[in-house]
Structures are given as C-alpha cells and as structure tokens.
Structure 1
Amino acid sequence: MSDSNEVLRTIDLFCGAGGITEGFRQAGYVSLYGNDAMPEAIETFKYNHPEAIADGRSIEETDPAEIRKRLGLEVGELDVLVGGPPCQGFSINAPERFLNDPRNKLFTYYERYLEEFRPKAFVFENVPGLLSLGDGKVFRQIVRIFGGLGYKVTAKILFAAHYGVPQERWRLILLGSRFGEIAHPEPSHYAVGRANFRGGSTMTFQLNETDRHRLKSPVTVGEAIGDLPRLAMGEGSEIAGYTNDAHCSYAESVRNPAGVTFNHYAAKLSKQNAERMKHVKPGGSWRDIPHELLPKGMQRARKSDHTKRYGRLRNDGLSGTVLTKCDPHWGTVFLPDQDRTLSVREAARFQSFPDTYKFLGSRVSQYVQVGNAVPVLMAKAIALTIRDHLDGLRPQPVTDESIGDLLTPVDVR
C-alpha cells in the first residue's frame, strides 16, 4: 500500500496554526488541504504550508465531495486524515443521540470527511476529558462510529514530554486504519507527569526505573529556550537575530539556519503583577507572594489549592501545559531567570515548533494559536508510526525462505 520512499498525503481538519501538519511534514508527508475557521490561524497555516490549500471557511460551509474532487483524489486514495473536533454536546442517558446535538456538528463533519475520502488511516485528537463525558459513553459511541466505517481503532493518552517536547501536556489520540491495528508511538524520552484524569493509569505509557536508564532524558525549560535572546519587559520584535550559540541538541534542532527567529517580544506587565513577580522563586507560585499583594479573590484561596497561578518556571523542569493566554493569573508564565513573561517564540519552543515557523496576526492571537496547537514532535512520532504501519502493508518479495515459512508440513503416517 505504501512505499517507504513515497510521499504520503494528508488533509488536516481544524488545523489551527498547523502543529499536526508540521509534525507530519517533518516525517516526510505532504499536506494537501487544511481547514480552520479562525482567520489568523489559517493565515499562519497558509504562510508556513504554502503547498496546501488553506481554507478559512467554517467546516459546515465545506463539501467533502467537492474538496476531494478539487484535490484530484479517488475514494480511498488519501493516506491520512487528521483533526481534532471538539465534542461538547452529549446526553448521558442517550449517547445514541450524540450526533443529533447541534453542538456536535463539527464531529459530524469529521465523520463526513472520513466517509467521503475513505483514507487509509486517520488521527483523531482530543483532550483526555473526552473519556469522562457521559461516564465514557460518548467516547465509546465515537469508537463505534469509526468502527462502523470499517476502521480498526486504537486509543491512548500520550504525554508530550515522552517525545522530546519540553512540556507537560496530555492528549487523547485515536488512530484508525482500514488495514488493521496501529500501535501508538513508544516513548523516546523518560518523563513523569500527573495523569489525574480518567484513563490516567490504564491508557498511558507507564514508565519505570529501567526506562529511566533506557530512554533519553527529558528536554528541560533551560534547554528549550536558554539560547534565545534575553529580553526585558517591552523589548523584542517580530524578527529577532540570535545573540547566543545553540547550547544543546534541542536548540540546534529548532534554530533557523538563516540566523533569525520570529515572534520574540516580551510583553509589559502591570505595576501590580511586576511587583508580585519579584517574590516568586523558580518553581514557585502565588503562594510566594505576600498576602497583601495578592488579588482580592486569591487572598481567600487555600494554600492547598494546587493551581500554578503566578508561577515561575524552572530551568531544570518541564513547562506546564502551554496556555492560550500569557497571563500570570492563569498559570506559570514567569521565566526562571528573567523578570518577564514568556514570549510567543518561547511558548512555541515549548510546543516544539521550529524557529522558522512564523505566527501571524495580533500577539493575543499568536498566543492562542500556539496554545491550541498539538506539539510538533508528538505529531511527528505519530506520523512515523503510521508510516511504518502503511509500509508494512506493501507486498513483500517472494524468496525460498518465505515460501518455506508458508508451507505446512503434512503428516503422512
């Protein structure tokens, strides 16, 4: 079905800025088409993936059959469909009405594209919380829908740090194939995170001490961003030259050979937040801030409240989940050794985007695009395991040994 030298083709629904598409590109795929209704995100996708058709219409306005014909594909010819539609509407007591809920039109369109294109394989990504909707009934209904279309479906919750991403981020990944089961990519890096959600102990890779010595060390915050130009609040620009040499293999792998990067600007903080920041040590949070300096609402918070608000990163740790807002009131956004918050480029480094990847639109929009993305290196690992699966379907050459393996000895007694 697939030649290892063949360029495999994808289309990406709900593509956002193109994190999955970039991961698949790095694995040797080519994207034919991307769709997302966020204007700034689709412009970013278009800029970074000029080979693909970038469609900014709402997916409800698109016709899967028209798109397939426009791409010149026969039914069953597409290699991989990728996407992650939200699945918000559900009925606990009647999950069979899942598709009738108007909030699930986006999932319905993912299904329609799957039916129209009949790709060899698909990737469906979502938040782990999907497993809890309707006590798991919605998830089981989704798997039944995919299975009813002729796909063998496997599901696992992947931890981004297991694939060299310097970030604590969990994603539910469903893989489907018309030709058998696809195994999820094995971790390449040793990292441990809190899997405090349904499926955390049964649907994740459980690593042990043997794995600690067998696998690569996780990529830390310091390794991820330590070579980028240091900035004070209000400094930086949309195009920035490097001022430091690459200091580790991760930095070398993501740096732009042209010697510049993009979207590296340090926002100014309010006077109150700048004062609060001074009290937070690396690895610390709002608990380090004097009580009288806390926002009124947080003055009533309990110390046992395990939020990461007003948190400061540690150079020797992982980033928390990259958020769609670079706001200290939302999470850990203070740098370990600079008194400022993350630039868009630093957030993109935590998502394993290469420095050549440019985010368009307002700076607020850029943070949203980065925060909504699937980490590039995790997507690349998924892409490579699908390629291995499709490569395994190729007809193998017939040899004397393979003929012998197929022959069954005959008992002539």
Structure 2
Amino acid sequence: MTKKPTAIDLFCGAGGLSEGLRQAGYSILAGNDIDPYAGATFAATHPDAKFIPGSVRDLEASDFLEVTGLKKGELDCLAGGPPCQGYSVYNHQRGMHDERSHLFREYLRIVEGLMPKWLVMENVTGIMSAGEGEAFQAVLAGIRALGYNVEARILRAEEYGIPQERRRVVFIGNRLGLPIMWPKKTHGEGLRPFTTIKDALADLPALSNGEDGGVQGYATEPKSDFQTELRAGSNAVYNHAAPRLGAINIERMKHIPQGGSWRDIPFDLLPSGMKRAKRSDHTKRYGRMKWDGLSCTVLTKCDVHWGAYIHPDQNRSISVREAARIQSFPDWFQFEGPRTEQYVQVGNAVPPMLGRKIGEAIVSAIESGSADADDTEERKAAAG
C-alpha cells in the first residue's frame, strides 16, 4: 500500500483546504490558526491532525516538526491562506500598510523551516493589485528565493463544480524540479453545466425568518449529484438556522423576485443611505438568489445589506449550512462556536471541492515525475 502524502495547513481556519487535500488522498498532520472557534471546528473535523492554537508569529517550524514527528524536508505539502483582509476589494483602505498584508512573510518563514516538497498558498485576487502588485511579487520572489519553482493563477470556483462565483489566486510550488500542473476545468462552456443554487440547496428543509429547528432531517431525497456527494456520511442537517431579521427587512424582501435586488424595493422602504444611491451602484445588495443561477461570493457575513444572500423563495437570509453547501463543505462537517463565527469560518474557507482539485493536480504532477524518472531509468538500462 502506498503511503499517503502528508500535509500541514497554516492559517487553517475551519479546514476547507485541508478537507479538500484529505479528499485528494493526503494525510493532514497539523493545522494552525489564531481563531479559537475555527480551531475548535478544525479539531473536531480533523481528528487525526494536531491543532496548534495561536498566532503564527509566536510559532517556529520546530513546533510543527515536534507534533508531527517529521524532520525538516520530509513534509510533502505545506498549505495555507494568510488572512486576506489587507488585500480584499471590500477593504477600501487596503494596501501594504495593513499589517495583515505581511502575514505571508510568516508563511515563508515556516516554509524555510520545514522545507516541504510542495507548497500551496491561496489568497484573494486583490493581492495582485495591492501596493501596485508589491505583495504579489514579494510572495513569488520569496518562494523562489527558497529554491522553489512556483506559479500563480486565478482559479474560478464555479469552473470546478462549486455553485458560486468566487475568484482566488493560488500559488503552487515545489523544490523537486517537477512540473506544476493545474486542475483542469470541469464546468462551463463546452463542459458540464455549472452547479446551480437548486443543485446545491433544493433538498434542505424550509425555514422561516429566525427559525432554528436544531438538527433536522432532509426535506427530500438527493436531487443532484452535488447533493448526493455532499450528503455522503451524513444522515441529518446541522448548522441550519435562519438569522432573525427585522420586520422592515422582511417587508423589503417581499418585493424582490429571484435575481432581483434593492432596485426592486419601493423607494419609501429603502434604507436612508440607499435612497441616495445610483441605480448602477451596489448591484448585489438585497439580492435574491436564483434557483438556476450561481451564488455571489460567500463572505464572512451573509448579510442581505451587502450581497445576494436572500433565499430564492423563502423570505430570509441563507443559513450557515446553506452557505457551507455553496462552499462545497460536506454535510457531516459541523461548525463550532456562535453562529456569527460559523459564518466567518465558512466565508474565509477555501471550498473543499477546489482544494481537492488542487491536491489531485499535485498528485498527478508527482506521478508524472515518477513516470518520467522510470522512463529515464529504462532508457539507461536499454542503452547499458
């Protein structure tokens, strides 16, 4: 039996990227995050991994080697997504002066101490423009300075079967001289149809505004391949409760059709600030999802004031479980902590399905490198 490749997840959050790597065949040995609620979720959902709490600034590579029993250079893959708020387009003061913009240096410090064979780093696309691209170039230069071949690409989640418009920059590197392979797109024009909101959510029980039914049964049998996959290993619905919105918001929702937004709300019902807005502004605010469409990017707050987070036909905002479905988390994956913190964990995560595709691409590169090595040996033997 082939030994599973090993991975450690820095800035692991709830563990979306590491869950994806686990699905791709990796053994997740450890994770680190400063957020105690995300850490509780990671620990509960990755029972074979060691969670190391606290700021990465207070940790050394030796801490990870100690808990995993590895020696420097033995780790197969170091994964991680340094907090991205410093680069986010939603942060209007973003830039290199934001101290969170420098956490990638901590990631590189741990890379240097561990010298993994492969590394994966994920971030928002804003890293490419923040400080006129200074951060993006610094990440590439820092990784190359450690002896790694590295490439970066923007990956679109919806092109890999995730029911959400989500763009993220992914860096993949290795120090083995192997080619860097990227996951092949599976959905979109000329490929499989995009996974829709209906594909993702139609089997979940209905909720009224503010309703928390606790652990619930499914409303129907699976109605899509996506639902079948995410329901595997689970016989109930967890983290499925609707935030309680005020009466004025419920009244506003009554006027919003599927695919509609704040523009459909009668003027006298609009929030005062939005009465001054241009019709071309805030395109997603008070947006209602379409059953046959994609979700907008799941953020750390699925707040109807900020995005299209109204259920397609129920007058409420989406639950944590619905956000997790849109992020491709399996249903057995339960989120710990207060509900507001659960939304943060879901919104900050790498969609596990995308993490799996990345992990599988790395495995393919390793196998292709092994095949090349075997071919070389055979040619040498034949020439011998």
- Answer whether TM exceeds 0.5 for this pair: yes
SS of corresponding position for 2:199: helix
Give the Cα separation in 1 of the matches to 2:97 and 2:267.
50
SS of corresponding position for 1:240: coil
* Alpha-carbon spacing, 1:267–1:99, altered in 2? closer, same or farther (3 Å): closer
Q: Is the 8 Å Cα contact of residues 151 and 173 (structure 2) preserved in structure 1?
A: yes
Q: Is 309-318 or 62-71 further displaced after alignment?
A: 62-71
Structure-2 residue corresponding to 1:187 = 185
Quote the offset at 1:86 in angstroms. 3.6
Q: Is 324-333 or 17-26 further displaced after alignment?
A: 324-333
For residue 367 of structure 2, the aligned residue among 353, 368, 391 is: 391
* Alpha-carbon spacing, 1:89–1:356, altered in 2? closer, same or farther (3 Å): closer
Give the Cα separation in 1 of the matches to 2:222 and 2:98.
51
* Alpha-carbon spacing, 1:100–1:146, altered in 2? closer, same or farther (3 Å): farther
Would you say 1:15 and 2:4 are equivalent positions?
A: no
% identity of equivalent residues: 46
* Alpha-carbon spacing, 1:382–1:167, altered in 2? closer, same or farther (3 Å): same
Structure-2 residue corresponding to 1:237 = 213
Q: Is the 8 Å Cα contact of residues 196 and 292 (structure 2) preserved in structure 1?
A: yes
SS of corresponding position for 1:176: strand
For residue 239 of structure 2, the aligned residue among 253, 263, 281 is: 263
Residues 54-65 of structure 1 aligned to structure 2 (within 5 Å): 54-65=51-62
Would you say 1:367 and 2:365 are equivalent positions?
A: no
Residues 76-95 of structure 1 aligned to structure 2 (within 5 Å): 76-86=73-83
Q: Is the 8 Å Cα contact of residues 154 and 183 (structure 1) preserved in structure 2?
A: no
Quote the offset at 1:343 in angstroms. 0.7
Give aligned pairs, total. Answer: 376
Unaligned ranges ≥5, structure 2: 88-94
* Alpha-carbon spacing, 1:108–1:349, altered in 2? closer, same or farther (3 Å): same
Q: Is the 8 Å Cα contact of residues 87 and 107 (structure 1) preserved in structure 2?
A: no
Structure-1 residue corresponding to 2:197 = 221
Quote the offset at 1:56 in angstroms. 1.7
Structure-2 residue corresponding to 1:300 = 276
* Alpha-carbon spacing, 1:255–1:406, altered in 2? closer, same or farther (3 Å): same
Give the Cα separation in 1 of the matches to 2:98 and 2:308.
36
SS of corresponding position for 1:334: coil
* Alpha-carbon spacing, 1:39–1:157, altered in 2? closer, same or farther (3 Å): same
Give the Cα separation in 1 of the matches to 2:373 and 2:149.
26
Quote the offset at 1:64 in angstroms. 1.2
Give the Cα separation in 2 of the matches to 1:340 and 1:218.
25
Give the Cα separation in 1 of the matches to 2:382 and 2:130.
47
Give the Cα separation in 2 of the matches to 1:88 and 1:365.
16
Would you say 1:150 and 2:147 are equivalent positions?
A: yes
Give the Cα separation in 2 of the matches to 1:376 and 1:398.
33
Given residue 185 of structure 1, which amino acid in structure 2 is its aligned partner?
Answer: P
Give the Cα separation in 2 of the matches to 1:360 and 1:220.
27
- For the pair shown, the structure with the greater C-alpha radius of gyration is 1
Q: Is the 8 Å Cα contact of residues 99 and 108 (structure 1) preserved in structure 2?
A: no
Structure-2 residue corresponding to 1:170 = 167
SS of corresponding position for 1:311: coil
TM-score by length of 1: 0.86
For residue 342 of structure 1, the aligned residue among 313, 318, 327 is: 318
* Alpha-carbon spacing, 1:270–1:397, altered in 2? closer, same or farther (3 Å): closer
Structure-2 residue corresponding to 1:379 = 355
Quote the offset at 1:243 in angstroms. 2.4
Given residue 316 of structure 1, which amino acid in structure 2 is its aligned partner?
Answer: D
Structure-2 residue corresponding to 1:199 = none
Q: Is the 8 Å Cα contact of residues 29 and 48 (structure 2) preserved in structure 1?
A: yes
* Alpha-carbon spacing, 1:258–1:161, altered in 2? closer, same or farther (3 Å): closer
* Alpha-carbon spacing, 1:284–1:34, altered in 2? closer, same or farther (3 Å): same
Q: Is the 8 Å Cα contact of residues 84 and 124 (structure 2) preserved in structure 1?
A: no
Which aligned segments of 4 or more residues in structure 1 are displaced greater than 4 angstroms? 87-90, 98-105, 395-402, 404-408
Given residue 178 of structure 1, which amino acid in structure 2 is its aligned partner?
Answer: R
Q: Is the 8 Å Cα contact of residues 32 and 52 (structure 1) preserved in structure 2?
A: yes
Quote the offset at 1:30 in angstroms. 1.2
Would you say 1:73 and 2:70 are equivalent positions?
A: yes
Cα RMSD (Å) of the superposition? 2.4
Give the Cα separation in 2 of the matches to 1:275 and 1:74.
60
Would you say 1:333 and 2:309 are equivalent positions?
A: yes
Q: Is 24-33 or 130-139 further displaced after alignment?
A: 130-139
Quote the offset at 1:89 in angstroms. 7.4
Would you say 1:160 and 2:136 are equivalent positions?
A: no
* Alpha-carbon spacing, 1:340–1:144, altered in 2? closer, same or farther (3 Å): same
Structure-1 residue corresponding to 2:263 = 287
For residue 318 of structure 1, the aligned residue among 281, 285, 294 is: 294
SS of corresponding position for 1:312: coil
Give the Cα separation in 1 of the matches to 2:292 and 2:52.
41
